[in-house]
Chain A
Amino acid sequence: MADVINTQGHVRLGSNAGQGLTRRDGVLKVTGAATYAADNRPEGLLHAVTATATIARGRVTHLDVAAAEAHPGVVKLYTPDNVPPLAVSPDEKIHPFVWRMEALQSDRVRYAGQPIALVLAETLEAATEAARLLAPRYEAETPHVTLDDAEPFETTTTAFGRPADHSSGDIGKARATAARHVVAEVETVAQYHNAMEPHAIVARWTGDRLEIDTPNQAIGLARQTFAAFLGIEPAQILIRSPFLGGGFGSKAILYGGQLLAVLAARDTGRPVKLVLRRDQMYGPVGHRAPTRQRLRLDLDEDGRIAALQHDTLTMTSSFDHFLEGASNASHSLYATAALQTTHRGLRADIGTPGPMRAPGEAPGSAALEVAMDLAAQAAGLDPLAFRLRNHAETDPSNGMAFSSKALRECYAQAADLFGWADRPAEPRRMRQGQLLKGWGMGSAQFPCPMFTAAAHATLRADGSAVVETSAADMGQGAWTALAQIAADGLGLDIDRVEFRSGHSDLPDAGVAGGSGHTATAGTALFNAGADVVRRLVDLATGDPASPLFGAGNSGVTARGGRLHRNDDGRSEAYEDILARAGLDMLRGEGTGAREGQPTRAMFSHGAVFAEVLVDPDLGQIRVSRLVGAFAAGRIINPRLARSQLLGGMVWGIGFALQEEALHDARTGRFTNNDLAGYHIPVNADAPMIEALTVHEDDPFVNALGIKGVGEIGVTGTVGAIGNAVWHATGLRSQRFPIHPESLILSGESL
């Protein structure tokens, strides 16, 4: 049977991968027929609404339970006094991907927006009103929610258990030989994922069987986690998550409301639906923490980086541990003789941060690319020439060769399309009408992790096939791209392949995150298909009645639903091989993972060029052009990959110019936890924007040569926009987002 495929050499993909097919779920999505979790309405449904804390620290002293219960239509109300117990405390970290949750385990409030009660009612209107009638009273304590007043704490790790500090080379020695140095200080702010689909769950018990509809980026893990907290077996739980209305990291990790909905459904014996309000997504479901970063680049006479130091101060909650690994973004992008990175943490009265599209890389890249621009200026070099001069031939953090790195081609193609060669070196030299025009650039980089996935493939008697894995499609296109890979594994046209995905009874496809889902689940699917083909070949070549008899396993190619002899071209259809063998189906299995310790540094790379227009009177900044070129290994579906890259680049616009969650420092409450106050890019903010992909063969990253495109678009873009604002105005903001007032109030005239 197929196992992990050999990571040396290339698998020759067939006619499905590489084509820009439109989405297989397209018709469902444009007709409203795609079913998201909150669209489920089982018979007897109860609507749940949580009441949430309006203080950031303290305890709840009173809830007007009587008033809420008296409201017509209310069925049940849960507070810490009567919530059914879990098998394991929601404060237990039973595995590294569990965040400490709030499931009414006490009257403590640890951040604003924390759930403090759950109301069940016959209608959504009744539940909403009853939750309001609870009118909580508190014993409030002074909260700390900013980088200025939060509590420092000792840590040795950042996100995902990576070491907080890194040092390679002799930084003291390198600095002693340097001709000059630059220091960049960059602050980034709290950002919230704000997937368009609010977090939702519909939970229904039938006896001791639990059915859950909830958007989740790692269904298999979610099932195990639910089971552990409920004290039941994973096999008793079915999770359906066919479509996620966006995830971006926020739907990879369970939150307390999901446990409460499940408990309430068990307690009342009726299905329960809980959908968070938009404002309730600020707190319990993760965010990107703010950072304060300092970079020091020491340069030699020729403009080569002799030493690179990147220090990050960031914030986590008072009760859990997730530190944005921003400094890690400097580990592997530019050559340097000496590298030193650190992270320091603060504890604040906020919900625990978590992975948000390009966690660590996004804020880290923003600061690094600003520092690189400053350094280019100090070295008297064009920003692109400076980056080329410091192109890393090996990963400076560990000396490893890159598995592939077509970054130079990215620079060349994007710069050419953008017209970078015409850029004046000095700022404030270009205008469009009254507006100041500026050009900036940044390099993009994102790691290529693989997780573990399993898949099944079954060839049917009619020569069609069904492939199965519990993948998550949150918009990246798993329904389509994974089916393309699966079809190639089977040697079938994609129209002959049924792809089953998105529920937990299927083989575990691992997490849709880290830009590693296509590589991981795709490898498992390809291997499952290849396993079927191998069995077919054994049948045919061992059967004297087959034209393939005696051809030997290596002398046969699977293509278009037939096995072909490589020597004389004779072939036989899959269905005929099965029929003669008396089989009504043939089943294969496959897994996807990276075996052993990597011996190469594995990253996607890219280059992003930005043009901004700045109004000298108002300070208003518009991105008018954005061009990116990315080298991300084999592109399975160019149409969908482009959309992913463009989406990431637009996230870069939001990061650079708009997104900022604001707390009232006195109360610790949010002042803009809605989509009117927390600005994300709208269509008019997304200008002429293009993403190219540069050809790249990578024989090391995995046998299919797939890297990943989900997150890299954010990196590079933020710095490119910041650098373009400098080029337009001559002003360097030390903070993202760059708002008009930060230009106007800088004291410099525009």
Chain B
Amino acid sequence: MTQTLQLKINGSDLRLDLDDPRATLLDVLRERLGLTGTKKGCDRGQCGACTVLIDGRRVNACLALALSHDGAQITTIEGLARGEDLHPVQAAFIADDGFQCGFCTPGQIMSAVALIAEAEAGLDPERIREGMSGNLCRCAAYAGITEAVLDATRALALEEERAA
């Protein structure tokens, strides 16, 4: 039975007729919508490569049934840049070499964006490392990832200060 699903993805409203209730949000994004920036590393919620923001919270999209998120606002890696300009977290990942193969990177970046918004870790590297530990990186670019989160936290705070 086909079900209709309404989502706001990266700012655009989208209506999707979903013919299979088993589809996860991850597989809908990747296989039906062509948003392949979000990666599948384990399909079990163990690696974090599929991290997206659902209504601002970081979620493993492989563990989210698409139909159970009808009406949600979803941000994926494709929706993060501001036009031509990279999001400060994206820019920091490049500057600090917070990745090697790049496969876990979309998930790392989405997770980092949410971590900074959660405002729990601040500029404490130990808490950043803990807060980013749901996102595995087999290349082990962890030192760069931690630096990138620190730098992006500072950059975003500065932006906020200027806007105020």
Which residues from chain A sit less than 8 Å from chain B, CB to CB? 22-23, 25-36, 38-39, 41, 47, 123-126, 129, 193-198, 243-248, 275, 277-278, 473-477, 639-640, 642-644, 646-647, 649-651, 674-676, 680-686, 689
Contacts and interface: CB of A to CB of B under 8 A. Distances in A.
B38 A196 contact: no
A721 to B, nearest CB: 15
Instruction: Give the 10 A-B CB pairs with smallest separation, nearest first.
Output: A32-B37, A245-B103, A475-B100, A475-B101, A29-B102, A650-B140, A32-B77, A39-B36, A686-B142, A26-B94
A577 B57 CA distance: 59
B38 A32 contact: yes
A129 B20 CA distance: 12
Given A196-B49, A246-B139, A647-B139, A22 B94 contact: yes
B135 interface: yes
B105 A643 contact: no
Interface string B121-164: 00000001110111111111111111000000000000000000
A362 to B, nearest CB: 14
B63 interface: no
Nearest to A642: B97
B162 to A, nearest CB: 23
A475 B42 contact: no
Contact of B138 (A248, A644, A649): A248
B101 A245 contact: yes
B142 A650 contact: yes
B47 A34 contact: no
Contact of A674 (B44, B81, B99, B133): B44
A238 B124 CA distance: 48
Contacts of A246: 100-101, 103, 138-139
B86 interface: yes
A31 B78 contact: yes
A128 to B, nearest CB: 8
A32 B76 contact: yes
Interface in B29-75: 30-31, 34-44, 46-47, 49
A686 B94 contact: no
A35 B128 CA distance: 29
B80 A31 contact: yes
A126 B22 CA distance: 9
A274 B41 CA distance: 14
A30 B105 CA distance: 6
A197 B42 contact: no
A25 to B, nearest CB: 7
A44 to B, nearest CB: 14
A27 B20 CA distance: 35
Contacts, number: 181
Report whether over half of chain A's contact residues are helix, strand or loop; otherwise say mixed. loop
A458 B33 CA distance: 39
Nearest to B42: A278
A194, A246, A642 — most chain B CB neighbours (10 Å): A246
A340 to B, nearest CB: 35
Nearest to A200: B40
A681 B81 CA distance: 30
A195 B138 contact: yes
B100 A196 contact: no
A31 B130 CA distance: 24
Interface in B80-110: 80-81, 86, 90-91, 93-95, 97, 99-106, 109
A245 B39 contact: yes
Nearest to A34: B102
A41 B137 contact: no
Nearest to B128: A683
Given A30-B109, A277-B43, A675-B136, A125 B37 contact: no
Given A674-B46, A675-B46, A684-B130, A32 B78 contact: yes
B131 to A, nearest CB: 8
A29 B140 contact: no
B40 A198 contact: yes
A22, A29, A32, A646 — most chain B CB neighbours (10 Å): A32
Contact of B99 (A29, A644, A650, A651): A29
A195, A197, A247, A651 — most chain B CB neighbours (10 Å): A197
B9 interface: no
Given A30-B86, A646-B143, 12 more contacts: A39-B30, A124-B27, A277-B43, A643-B141, A647-B140, A650-B140, A675-B42, A675-B136, A676-B46, A680-B136, A683-B137, A689-B143
B42 A674 contact: yes
Contacts of A36: 39, 103
16 contacts: A26-B94, A27-B86, A30-B93, A30-B99, A31-B81, A31-B90, A32-B78, A36-B39, A124-B27, A196-B137, A197-B101, A245-B104, A247-B101, A278-B47, A643-B100, A683-B145
B10 to A, nearest CB: 11
B114 interface: no
A683 B146 contact: yes
B138 A41 contact: no
A196 B103 contact: yes
Given A196-B104, A674-B44, A651 B97 contact: no
B23 interface: yes
Nearest to B140: A650
A682 B142 CA distance: 8
Nearest to B93: A30
B114 to A, nearest CB: 15
Contacts of B132: 683
Nearest to A677: B46
B38 A680 contact: no
Contacts of B128: 683
Given A29-B105, A30-B109, A41-B36, A194 B143 contact: no
Given A34-B102, A197-B101, A643 B38 contact: no
Contact of A675 (B47, B78, B97): B47
A475 B102 contact: yes
A476 B102 CA distance: 10
B157 to A, nearest CB: 20
A442 B87 CA distance: 41
Contacts of B22: 125, 129
Nearest to B23: A125
A680 B36 CA distance: 25
A165 B81 CA distance: 57
B103 A651 contact: no
A608 to B, nearest CB: 15
Contacts of B105: 29-30
A23 B90 CA distance: 13
Contacts of B142: 646, 650, 681-683, 686
B33 to A, nearest CB: 10
A25, A639, A683 — most chain B CB neighbours (10 Å): A683
B41 A278 contact: yes
A125 B22 CA distance: 7
Contact of A30 (B20, B90, B143): B90
Contacts of B86: 27, 30-31
B141 A647 contact: yes
A198 to B, nearest CB: 7
Given A33-B37, A689-B143, A684 B77 contact: no
B91 to A, nearest CB: 8
B138 A31 contact: no
A661 to B, nearest CB: 15
Contact of A23 (B94, B103, B109, B146): B94
Contact of A22 (B43, B95, B102, B145): B95
A25, A31, A35, A642 — most chain B CB neighbours (10 Å): A31
